[in-house]
């Protein structure tokens, strides 16, 4: 006889207040399906008739369809909350302008696109100045699968407005093994969109590190794609376990119908939608050393010049690599840690400059599941972020520092061996230089100061006396 527990009906989904959703492209449609599964009543609108038709066929019949942005807002009970899943840029301004007359100061717009942080700040300022609705900038990560099954959601903005929409968004977010929803208000203002920008910058760096490892294994060590898939799969059982390592193995194994590895038919030119560039610009703007992130953007730029690269091709090609796979594994791990620590430095610096009050441990926790960067390393980064004073480098956390120090010899060997073999490893090289620079008490900037004072009387500080000093640079 079945037990009582087995026959008990499943608990009804938590009842939620209705949400407006504008934009039913791939991401919007999948979020809508996810919201529907969790009992969030939806009022939706999509401007493009083809996308609207696809969505109509997919969404539950209970979905309410509006015929304009303003009609979405009018159909909602107060306080009204509307999630925008439209292309970042002018389209967001246009939809906000269309919604504006139907929304008051207690209402909420959530921009779920990959918005430029500066646009989000501008929109928040404008809406506040005119007594309009609150704008929450929401970073959404995980691609279409994540949107459908559980994305990581990184919010920034007004705390009371967030509390109103949090239950519905937490219900659809990814969950970690311990059951925590990867969905949080990470700070004020545009903090959520900034954290997503940094997430993408780190994503560029980790992907480039994996591409450099692939290059080293394929050309330098002469491994075939099956062997490289095995290496990536093996890395995914240890300290580097994470989504990008996992799918790197999958990409190696994909085959054309004739058996050719798909990777050999993919042009070696990387595209980019701009978030890596924004992250790099933000690092420069805030004076944060994030060379591993920036170098990954440069590597994509070099990749894009494929015709010139062909014309400039050097013969003979790169030589054999004298390197053990364990060293390469450590190199990728150290470069990954470097990229994350640099990203957290950026978040701390930008957060302090903009007054966003970003909670760094919460950022690491939100990245533990659902997002592209999900990896077991995030658990250790969350511990590190709790351990160090706010704004300090995560390298100050004892356990993370030890993890990096263990991997450092492998990174040194990899960069040295790859350089001798003529295999470019820009992300690994920049990570190594950054780690060495950050972990030595005295560097060579004393010469920079001497030179600046010698030619421009810019002054320098002395090791043995306070204040600003000049050298007596005159020569007889
Ligand atoms: C995610 C991804 C996603 C995408 C970016 C970057 O978190 O789901 O970061 O946002 O990868 O659009 O794309 P590009 O590589 O084209 O810049």
- Number of folded domains that form the chain: 3
Please check whether residues 473 and 421 belong to one and the same domain: no
**Pairing mode, if any, of strands 81-84 and 19-22?**
parallel
> Residue 463: pLDDT above 80?
yes
- Report the alpha-carbon distance of residue 327 to residue 409 in Å, rounded: 7
Catalytic, 46? Answer: no
Of the candidates 121, 203, 362, 403, the residue annotated as catalytic is 203
Q: What's the pLDDT score for residue 3?
A: 38
Of the candidates 46, 196, 212, 239, the residue annotated as catalytic is 196
Among protein residues, the one with the nearest Cα to ligand 1's atom 7 is: 141
Please check whether residues 37 and 170 belong to one and the same domain: yes
Q: What's the pLDDT score for residue 5?
A: 40
Query: Which of 114, 193, 279, 378 best tests ligand 1's pocket when mutated (most atoms within 8 Å of CB)?
Result: 114
Please check whether residues 470 and 324 belong to one and the same domain: no
> Residue 14: pLDDT above 80?
no
Distance 271 CA to ligand 1 centre (A): 10
Q: What's the pLDDT score for residue 9?
A: 53
Please check whether residues 292 and 354 belong to one and the same domain: yes
Please check whether residues 451 and 413 belong to one and the same domain: no
Residue 106 covered by a domain: yes
> Residue 69: pLDDT above 50?
yes
Residue 112 covered by a domain: yes
Catalytic, 134? Answer: no
Distance 205 CA to ligand 1 centre (A): 12
Please check whether residues 328 and 450 belong to one and the same domain: no
Mean per-residue pLDDT, 280-298: 98
Cβ neighbors of 86 (< 8 A, separation 6 or more) are 22, 23, 28, 92, 95, 113
- Which atom of ligand 1 is least distant from the CA of 271? 16
Please check whether residues 117 and 143 belong to one and the same domain: yes
**Pocket residues: Cβ below 6 A from ligand 1:** 114, 141-143, 200, 203, 271-273, 275-276, 371-372
Please check whether residues 455 and 406 belong to one and the same domain: no
Please check whether residues 227 and 364 belong to one and the same domain: yes
| pTM (two decimals) | 0.95
Mean per-residue pLDDT, 164-188: 96
Distance 129 CA to ligand 1 centre (A): 32
Range of the domain at 409: 198-438
Pick the range with the lowest mean pLDDT from 13-22, 66-75, 366-375, 384-393.
13-22
Look up the CATH number of the domain holding residue 292: 1.10.1040.10
- Report the alpha-carbon distance of residue 33 to residue 169 in Å, rounded: 13
Where does a domain end: 189, 211, 243? 189
> Residue 146: pLDDT above 90?
yes
Distance 474 CA to ligand 1 centre (A): 56
pLDDT in tens, 291-333: 999 999 999 999 999 999 999 999 888 889 999 999 999 999 9
Cα–Cα–Cα angle for 307, 275, 171, rounded to 5 degrees: 135
Rounded to whole angstroms, the maximal C-alpha distance in the chain is: 106
Look up the CATH number of the domain holding residue 468: 1.20.5
Please check whether residues 263 and 342 belong to one and the same domain: yes
């Amino acid at each position: 006889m079945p037990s009582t527990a087995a026959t008990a009906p499943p608990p009804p989904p938590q009842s939620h207040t209705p949400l407006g959703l504008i934009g039913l492209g791939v991401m919007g449609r999948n979020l809508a399906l996810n919201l529907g599964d969790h009992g969030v009543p939806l009022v939706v609108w999509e401007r493009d008739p083809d996308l609207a038709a696809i969505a109509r066929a997919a969404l539950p019949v209970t979905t309410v369809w509006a015929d304009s942005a303003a009609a979405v807002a009018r159909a909602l009970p107060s306080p009204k909350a509307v999630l925008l899943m439209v292309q970042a840029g002018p389209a967001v301004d246009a939809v906000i302008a269309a919604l504006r007359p139907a929304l008051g100061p207690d209402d909420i717009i959530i921009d779920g696109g990959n918005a430029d942080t500066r646009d989000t700040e501008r929109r928040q300022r404008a809406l506040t100045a005119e007594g309009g609705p609150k704008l929450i900038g929401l970073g959404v990560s995980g691609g279409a699968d994540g949107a459908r099954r559980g994305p990581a959601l990184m919010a920034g903005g007004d705390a009371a407005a967030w509390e109103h929409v949090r239950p519905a968004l937490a219900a659809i977010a990814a969950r970690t093994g311990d059951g925590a929803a990867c969905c949080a208000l990470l700070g004020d203002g545009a903090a959520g969109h900034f954290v997503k920008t940094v997430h993408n910058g780190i994503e560029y760096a980790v992907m480039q590190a994996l591409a450099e490892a692939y290059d080293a294994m394929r050309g330098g060590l002469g491994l075939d794609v099956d062997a490289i898939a095995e290496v990536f799969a093996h890395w995914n059982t240890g300290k580097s376990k994470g989504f990008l390592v996992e799918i790197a193995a999958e990409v190696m194994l994909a085959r054309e119908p004739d058996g050719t590895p798909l990777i050999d038919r993919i042009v070696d030119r990387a595209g980019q939608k701009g978030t890596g560039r924004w992250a790099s610009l933000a690092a420069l703007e805030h004076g944060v050393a994030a060379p591993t992130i920036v170098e990954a953007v440069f590597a994509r730029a070099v990749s894009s010049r494929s015709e010139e690269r062909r014309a400039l091709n050097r013969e003979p090609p790169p030589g054999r690599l004298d390197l053990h796979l364990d060293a390469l594994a450590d190199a990728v791990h150290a470069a990954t840690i470097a990229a994350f620590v640099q990203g957290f430095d950026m978040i701390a610096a930008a957060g302090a400059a903009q007054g966003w009050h970003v909670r760094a441990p919460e950022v690491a926790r939100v990245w533990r599941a659902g997002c592209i960067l999900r990896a077991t390393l995030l658990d250790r980064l969350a511990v590190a972020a709790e351990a160090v004073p706010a704004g300090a480098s995560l390298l100050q956390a004892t356990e993370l520092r030890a993890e990096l120090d263990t991997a450092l010899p492998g990174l040194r060997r990899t960069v040295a061996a790859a350089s001798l073999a003529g295999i470019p490893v820009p992300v690994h090289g920049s990570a190594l230089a950054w780690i060495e620079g950050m972990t030595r008490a005295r560097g060579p900037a004393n010469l920079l100061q001497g030179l600046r004072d010698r030619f421009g009387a810019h002054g320098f500080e002395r090791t043995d006396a306070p204040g600003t000093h000049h050298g007596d640079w005159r020569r007889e």
